[in-house]
């Protein structure tokens, strides 16, 4: 049985080479091909001899994901359906800066699980079963593929990565952190961790773990309601991770890392868009050092929620702003191809 070579650490690779009569420094060469150069076959490793490449081919396999389909939005967003080695599908999105923006931002939105187990009522992925976690290399491959799309289509590299695609990243903790290590390592893609944001629906003990691990990336909480009764209705995870517990864990994270959290807040029509809701959100921001991103709702077939009207949205954001809260309104991108926040569902059939 062949082993997945990208699951081997540099030390394990070196041991394998030595045990198989090869020089240990070859491990460093192979590691560079796998992570820095993103090689997807041993045949690409041109500074290795043909017999050594054949030996590697016999013992190991590389399990790259492939782009199965690509859809382009009218606003420039590109959604990809990625096929994994076992036939499962996940989706990832390239979000280029709008022409009106001053910054040359290129953002990759990547998935961490096939499906999801959290059943958030407004999210298409939440209506899928969770089939499995992605391994670190599968997350890494999404970034590599989306970076290639950015360079091909916009002549610019990725500037930011958000773990906001399919799945709950903190329920795939080990692989998510390993993927960040690969992406930020000088031996990998060499991106700054401050360009990476991991978004969670709110798992208090894992947020504390992030603090203990003193991670350098940014953390976002999908909040969407600042009282437990409303949040219970749309996010069942809140029943075991109440707002008080989340506030405690987020403050612990802040003390350990010094990184201010971002609250993501989708404003649903006639549900969480009143002045009272805004006051509750303001009160919650006083418990945790945070900024707020207000997000437009993107309709899905499985749910009956609607986006609030522009006037209500402006009043909501205006109240927070008047109280000194750092607040941004995030306009949806890629709605026409189901690539916007909450719409990813891997709709193409898996083999």
Encode pLDDT of 14-64 as tens digits.
Answer: 999 999 999 999 999 999 999 999 999 999 999 999 999 999 999 999 999
pLDDT of residue 298: 79
- The catalytic residue among 109, 116, 120, 341 is 341
Cβ–Cβ < 8 Å for 134, 172: yes
Amino acid 128: pLDDT: 85
pLDDT tens across 191-207, in order?
A: 999 999 999 999 999 99
- Compute the chain's Rg from CA coordinates: 21
The pLDDT of residue 305 is 86
Query: What count of residues does the chain have?
Result: 351
What average pLDDT does this structure show over 163-187?
Answer: 96
Q: Tell me what percent of the residues of the chain surpass a pLDDT of 70.
A: 92
Assigned architecture for domain 3-61: Orthogonal Bundle (1.10)
Q: Which CATH class is domain 66-337?
A: alpha beta
Q: Choose between 1 and 224: higher pLDDT.
A: 224
Contacts of residue 177, Cβ cutoff 8 Å, sequence gap at least 6 = 213, 215
Q: Where in the chain is the domain with CATH 1.10.150.530?
A: 3-61
Rounded-to-integer distance, Cα 55 and Cα 171, Å = 36
Q: What is the mean pLDDT of residues 64-92?
A: 93
Residue 3 pLDDT greater than 90, yes or no: yes
- When mean pLDDT is compared across 1-15, 32-46, 122-136, 273-287, the lowest value belongs to 122-136
Q: Check if 54 is active-site.
A: no
Distance CA 260, CA 301 (A): 35
Domain(s) of CATH 3.20.20.70: residues in the chain: 66-337
- Average pLDDT value over all residues in the chain: 91
Give the Cα separation of 76 and 53 in Å (integer).
40
Confidence of residue 122 (pLDDT cuts 50, 70, 90): confident
Out of 24-38, 100-114, 285-299, 307-321, pick the least confident: 100-114
CA separation for the pair 333, 96 (Å, rounded): 9
Query: Is residue 91 flagged as an active site residue?
Result: yes
Give the model's confidence band at 69: pLDDT under 50 very low, under 70 low, under 90 confident, else very high. very high
Rounded alpha-carbon distances, angstroms, from residue 132 to 80, 90, 105: 19, 11, 31
Q: What is the structure's pLDDT at 103? A: 62
Given a cut of 80, whether residue 336 has pLDDT beyond it is no
**Average pLDDT score over residue span 253-263:** 97
Confidence tier at 102 by pLDDT (50, 70, 90): very low
Among 96-105, 122-131, 144-153, which range has the highest average pLDDT? 144-153
Which residue out of 91, 138, 168, 264 is catalytically annotated?
Answer: 91
> Is residue 101's pLDDT more than 70?
no
């Amino acid at each position: 049985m062949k082993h997945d070579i990208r699951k081997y650490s540099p030390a394990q690779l070196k041991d394998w080479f030595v045990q198989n009569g090869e020089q240990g420094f070859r491990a460093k060469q192979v590691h560079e091909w796998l992570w820095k150069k993103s090689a997807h076959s041993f045949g690409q490793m041109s500074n290795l001899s043909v017999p050594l490449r054949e030996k590697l081919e016999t013992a190991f396999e590389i399990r790259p994901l492939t782009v199965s389909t690509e859809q382009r939005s009218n606003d420039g967003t590109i959604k990809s359906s990625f096929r994994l080695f076992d036939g499962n599908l996940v989706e990832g999105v390239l979000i280029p800066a709008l022409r009106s923006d001053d910054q040359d931002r290129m953002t990759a939105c990547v998935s961490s699980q096939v499906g999801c187990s959290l059943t958030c009522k407004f999210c298409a992925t939440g209506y899928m079963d969770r089939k499995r976690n992605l391994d670190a290399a599968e997350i890494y491959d999404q970034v590599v593929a989306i970076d290639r799309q950015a360079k091909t289509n916009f002549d610019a590299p990725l500037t930011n990565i958000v773990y906001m695609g399919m799945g709950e990243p903190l329920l795939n903790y080990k692989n998510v952190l390993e993927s960040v290590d690969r992406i930020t390592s000088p031996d990998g893609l060499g991106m700054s961790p401050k360009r990476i944001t991991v978004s969670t629906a709110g798992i208090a003990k894992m947020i504390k773990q992030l603090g203990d691990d003193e991670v350098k990336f940014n953390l976002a909480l999908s909040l969407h309601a600042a009282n437990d009764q409303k949040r219970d209705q749309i996010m069942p995870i809140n029943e075991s991770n109440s707002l008080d517990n989340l506030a405690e864990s987020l403050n612990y994270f802040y003390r350990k890392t010094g990184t201010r959290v971002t609250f993501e807040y989708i404003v649903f029509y006639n549900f969480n868009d009143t002045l009272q809701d805004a006051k509750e959100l303001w009160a919650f921001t006083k418990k945790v050092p945070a900024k707020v991103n207000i997000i437009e709702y993107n309709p899905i077939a499985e749910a009956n929620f609607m986006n609030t009207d522009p006037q209500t949205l402006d009043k909501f954001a205006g109240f927070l702003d008047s109280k000194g809260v750092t607040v941004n309104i995030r306009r949806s991108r890629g709605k026409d191809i189901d690539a916007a926040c909450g719409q990813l569902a891997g709709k193409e059939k898996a083999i």
